[in-house]
Amino acid sequence: MKIFKQLAVLLMASLFIISCSEGTKKEPKPVDVGELTKDVPEVHGSELKESDITLGTPLDQSMVSTGKATYELKCQSCHKLTAEKLVGPGWKDVTKRRQPLWIMNMITNVEMMLETDAEAQKMLELCMVRMPNQNISTDDARKLLEYMRSNDGEK
Amino acid sequence: MKHAHLKSLLCLLVGSVGLLWLQGCKPKGTQSAVSGNAAEKVYVAPGKYDEFYNFVSGGFSGQMSVYGIPSGRLLRVIPVFSVDPEKGYGYSEETKPMLNTSNGFIPWDDLHHIAISTTKSEHDGRWVFANGNNTPRIARVDTKTFKTVEILEIPNSAGNHSSPFITENTEYVVAGTRFSVPIGENQDVPINTYKQNFKGTVSFIGVDKVSGKMNIAFQILTPGINFDLARAGKGNSAGWFFFSCYNSEKANTLLEINASQKDKDFIMCVNWKKAEEYARAGKGVKKTVKYAHNTYDEKTHTATSVMENEVLMLDPKDCPDMIYFMPCPKSPHGCDTDPTGEYIVGSGKLAATIPVFSFAKIQAAIAAKNYDGQYDGIPVLKYEAVLHGEVQKPGLGPLHTEFDGKGNAYTSFFVSSEIVKWSIKDLKVLDRVPTYYSVGHLSIPGGPTSKPWGKYMIAYNKITKDRYLPTGPELSQSAQLFDISGDKMKLLLDFPMIGEPHYAEAIPASMLMKKSQKIYKIEENGNAYAAKGDNFARVERKGKEIHVYATSIRSHFTPDNIEGVKLGDIVYFHITNLEQDWDVPHGFAIKGANNAELLIMPGETQTLKWIPEKVGVFPMYCTDFCSALHQEMQGYVRVSAAGSNVPISFSTGKTTPDSVTTKTSN
């Protein structure tokens, strides 16, 4: 389904390019300034519930590989894949120590967790650096979780 | 004895009456000017927001400041025409091209006026335009990032004062010359041939409706007079532009006297719709001239400077009915159109009246060819024929007028140091308040648009004197906030400014705050030197150039130990901030660097060029307090002698660097 969507977008994009390159000078469409100036607030996650997360076996390998890419871009600077603590704790066995919901909320809602969750607060006392909000969507956080499970040896 | 007693009592009585009288006569001081609940009206409680953003020109600081109204709190200084070492603006490799001109890199200018973009003459708040006076340029600031994203040099211009003012839908930004200059191929002429050889221009800069990108659509060649300020029409007059002009005497020396000879100068009326038609119809002549066009790409966080070569020039003698002059008393300065667009207020800065012109009458006079001769071949309309009326005895030295949308105009008076409120319809003075001291520009939220929000007025004063604690010979320029919601103007607050404020505009906070960008998405970082993740952090040598691709995150750089740099090398530190959290920039500085720091926003990449001058180990560190371990956010770069064979190496978290083993193997 998703591939279809992507294909459709690609098709539309190429049509657009073709129509542009034909060089037919049409009167440009009037610009909708209202649309251009509408408010687009940035959303940085909202609290997840147990029911929002489902884990499956075997692991979804495409999710694992997207999760790995996100890890390398946004997490690796502070978290090793071993048990060794760098800025934050190493990820080895994190899926055995923590509930999936806890991990996901820590990724997407770190401000809330550091305010309300005793375990998260303990981590802050240990690391002394507030884990940054890395602007990771719920979907990407779920893929990171899949990558963590893979890192912990799940198949 | 009794008599003497009586006498002294009498004396005391007379004395105290005298004292009372004296006090009554004293000019109104600060205390008497401020009414009871002023503090309440400007108090914005901790954690609460101001009602308006006020974008203020920074004058000779070259920057734009952003204040909150009504609190008067400074929220931001946006670097525009001057370098800003605090933000790395003009120092980082990415931002240096923003300050390029046909005269090379220029680190300073004089920023005078502000124009917030409009649709149908109402604020849409997408961009803020500003002018550079000294080396003529127009800048565009994006209100999502509060960054300068474009600077366009204006050729065939000098003293770019009559700028930037915009048409109703931001189709054009105009830029007019204050100083006429020789234009064309032979510019090496005697100064006293001004009358023959000097010309003015007004440029119409097209603005792309979606991207905001500017380009000079055409320039109009004008007589060699000084253009001071300008405003577009609105409503019926939206197809016209009005420019105040002085020095119709065409003096080239001691203008203070020589440009103040004539009883009347002009307001130039430009039918820009007609000019646009002439430009499209090929009536213009393409002139070869070099000017820089600099744009900042928000995806690559990189500016590029392109040298343009040509401009389209319209000569009024080939373009009939395009421009007209309208006499205006005594060196007009402000030239402001009211919210309906029907009335144009001219402020002769040496005049004792304020003339108000009527657009309908201007049209009638043009149709009837009701002329008062010509000036350099351009028709001059009859003063009486275009005049709506004059405000009599308003004050001394009128400068600028703003509007509240309720039929009232507010004019600043420099010489008599006051603001006068008057009614546009019947030209009656309604109220006046003193300013401390010598007011220049005024700003009412939405004041220059067809839909002013009113409520407040800010006066930008030229002289501060005793308003603040003394700070030596120079004092910060002062702004004053007035409540204009009632019949009487009420002073609420004084607050200091940066540089010298000239024009400013205010816009409701609600129009901008939700759109404000918080981070640069690291996934979308298109900087050619970005290290998107620690796997890409590295050091590379390309001949004499060393490129350090480093990442920063709370609280370390990767890599943070670098060796193999030699004297004679040029080191480029490309730092990518991997943070994706609002308001967590990282700084970067290295000992001995002769430029500035970098301040890298979340998700951004910026580059600092460093040419080491000495052999040794140079610490680098994060300059923006980022976490409890910010003091630990540091590293070292080793610089060896020119002939050394220390190889390039880099690491983070390694205690035995490769170079140690390399050395022993040698």
Q: What does the pLDDT read at residue A35?
A: 82
Non-local (6+) Cβ contacts of B202 within 8 A are B162, B174, B175, B176, B177, B219, B220, B222, B227, B230, B241, B243, B268, B270
Report residue B327 as tokens: 């006499």
Cα separation, A18 vs A12, in Å, equals 10
- Residue A21: the pLDDT is 43
pLDDT for B430: 98
Coil vs helix vs strand at B312: strand
Q: Could you give the CA distance from residue B589 to residue B601 in angstroms, rounded to a whole number?
A: 15
Partner A contacted by B580 (CB < 8 A): yes
Q: What is the DSSP string of B342-394?
A: SEEEEEETT-SEEEEEEHHHHHHHHHTT-EEEEETTEEEE-HHHHEEEEEES-
Establish how many alpha carbons lie within 13 A of residue B542's alpha carbon, considering only the half-sphere containing its beta carbon: 6
Express each pLDDT in B41-98 by its tens digit: 999 999 999 999 999 999 999 999 999 999 999 999 999 999 999 999 999 999 999 9
Hey, what are B458's tokens? 């800010």
The pTM is what?
A: 0.90
Residue showing tokens 């650096």:
A129
What pLDDT shows up at residue B546? 98
Please report which confidence band the pLDDT of residue A15 belongs to, taking 50, 70 and 90 as the band edges: very low
Percent of chain B scored above 70 by pLDDT? 93
Q: Which residues of A touch B519 (CB under 8 A)?
A: 42, 135
Contact B56, B501 (CB under 8 A): yes
By Cβ distance, the residue of A36, A76, A135 closest to B534 is A76
Which residues of chain B are within 8 Å of residue A44 when distances are taken between CB atoms? 518, 582
Encoding tokens for residue B311? 């401009």
Q: What is the pLDDT of residues B347-388, one digit of tens each?
A: 988 888 999 999 999 999 999 999 999 999 999 999 999 999
Place of tokens 């025409």: B81
Question: If residue A150 lies in a helix (H) or strand (E), which one and from where to where?
Answer: helix A138-151
CB contact under 8 A, A87 and B514: no
> What is the SS3 assignment for B145?
coil
What are the tokens at B642?
């020119």
Amino acid at B58: G
**Rounded mean pLDDT of chain A?**
84
Percent of chain A whose predicted confidence (pLDDT) is above 70: 78
CB–CB of A132 and B579 under 8 A? yes
Comparing alpha-carbon positions, the chain A residue that sits nearest to B169 is A33
In this prediction, residue B260 has a pLDDT band, given cuts at 50, 70 and 90, of confident
B423-472 pLDDT, tens digit each:
999 999 999 999 999 999 999 999 999 999 999 999 999 999 999 999 99
Answer yes or no: is pLDDT of B24 > 50: no
pLDDT confidence band for A5 (50 / 70 / 90):
low
- pLDDT over 80 at A1, yes or no: no
- At B155, the amino acid letter reads P
Q: CB-based contact (8 Å) between A132 and chain B?
A: yes
- List of chain B residues whose C-beta atoms are within 8 Å of the C-beta of residue A78: 553-554
* pLDDT given for residue B509 in this prediction: 97
| B532 has pLDDT over 60 | yes
| 8 A C-beta contact, residue B575 and residue B604 | no
Interaxial angle between packed helices A138-151 and A100-108, expressed in degrees from 0 to 180 and rounded to the nearest 10 = 130
**Chain A contact for B119 (CB, 8 A cutoff):** yes
Measured between alpha carbons, how far is B241 from B77 in angstroms, rounded to an integer? 31
Nearest to B548 by CA among B601, B641, B612, B596: B612
* Strand runs labelled E in B35-136: 52-57, 64-69, 73-78, 100-101, 104-105, 111-119, 122-132
Rounded-to-integer distance, Cα B534 and Cα B550, Å: 8
Residue with tokens 């190889």: B647
Please indicate whether, in this complex, the C-beta atoms of B629 and A135 are within 8 angstroms of each other.
Answer: no
Phi, psi values for residue A119, rounded to 5°: -65, -40
Cross-strand bridge partners of residue B459? B442, B480
Residue A31 confidence class, pLDDT cut points 50, 70, 90 = confident
Give backbone dihedrals phi and psi of A35, rounded to 5 degrees, phi first. Answer: -65, -40
DSSP one-letter string for B578-594: ---STT--EEEEETT-S
CB contact under 8 A, B210 and A86: no
Q: What percent of chain B has pLDDT over 90?
A: 89
Q: Is the pLDDT of residue B139 over 70?
A: yes
Tell me if the bond preceding B437 is cis, omega within 30° of 0: yes
| Confidence band, pLDDT 50/70/90 cuts, at residue B664 | very low
- Give A59's DSSP letter: -
CB contact (8 A) between residue A73 and residue B533: yes
Inter-residue contact A59 to A154 (CB < 8 Å): yes
Tokens at B115, concatenated: 């124009």
Q: Which residue of A has its CA nearest to B577?
A: A74
Inter-residue contact A126 to A90 (CB < 8 Å)? no
Residue B643 pLDDT greater than 70, yes or no: yes
- Average pLDDT score over chain B: 93
Most confident segment among A3-12, A32-41, A45-54, B407-416: B407-416
Instruction: Tell me which amino acid residue B424 is.
Output: I
Nearest to B452 by CA among B231, B123, B57: B123
pLDDT score at A18: 42
Kindly state the tokens that stand for B590.
């290295």
In the three-class reduction of DSSP (H, G, I as helix; E, B as strand; rest coil), residue B524 is classed as: helix
Six-digit token pair at B561? 């130990």
Phi, psi of B15 (to 5 degrees): -60, -50
> How many angstroms separate the CA of residue A19 from the nearest CA in chain B?
19
| Average of per-residue pLDDT across B640-657 | 88
Predicted complex ipTM: 0.78
Q: What is the mean pLDDT of residues B459-488?
A: 96
- For residue A121, give the DSSP letter: H
What is the spatial distance between Cα B348 and Cα A138, in angstroms, rounded to a whole number?
63
Instruction: Tell me, yes or no, if B514 comes closer than 8 A to chain A by beta carbon.
Output: yes
- Residue B180, H or E segment: none
Give the minimum alpha-carbon distance from B231 to chain A in angstroms, rounded to a whole number. Answer: 22
Instruction: Tell me the per-residue pLDDT of B534-578, one tens digit each, with 9 for 90 and over.
Output: 999 999 999 999 999 999 999 899 999 999 999 999 999 999 999
Give the model's pLDDT for residue A43: 63
Per-residue pLDDT of B193-251, as tens digits, reads 999 999 999 999 999 999 999 999 999 999 999 999 999 999 999 999 999 999 999 99
What is the chain A residue with the closest CA to B125? A37
Q: Are B556 and A132 an interchain contact pair (Cβ–Cβ within 8 Å)? A: no
Element (H, E) at A94: helix A94-97
Per-residue pLDDT for B23 more than 50?
no
DSSP state of B463: -
B56 compared with A47, residue with greater pLDDT? B56
